[in-house]
Amino acid sequence: MDCLFCKIIARHIPSSIVYEDGFVFAFRDTKPEAPVHVVIVPKKHIVSLDKLEESDSEIMGKVVFAASKIAQQENIAKDGYRLVANCGGNAGQSVWHIHFHLLGGRKFSWPAG
């Protein structure tokens, strides 16, 4: 197991767990870009968005639903939040396990910041 996020899910690397169910694992980012910055991953190892298969549709729905629940739990749903997925090196993906960044707690501009 060389995947950083698989090691975090397996608790071989400590993390600040925010949410967990049978399909989804979420933890606080160690280098937050916002007051609330949670990384949300499927427990199933999927390399990136472009490697999804049709059979992954259900688990990806569970990931997005978990993001909504975590936004409520973190008190950022009312004011708004971002759910970001980077796909590929040029987009900034640095861990090759599909993941989403849930960001909130401040006002954002578009496209960056």
> Which residues are known catalytic residues?
99
Q: How far apart are CA 4 and CA 9, in angstroms?
A: 9
Q: Could you tell me which of 19, 20, 109 has the C-alpha nearest to residue 72? A: 19
Q: Could you tell me which of 12, 16, 19, 7 has the C-alpha nearest to residue 45? A: 7
Q: How far apart are CA 49 and CA 71, in angstroms?
A: 22
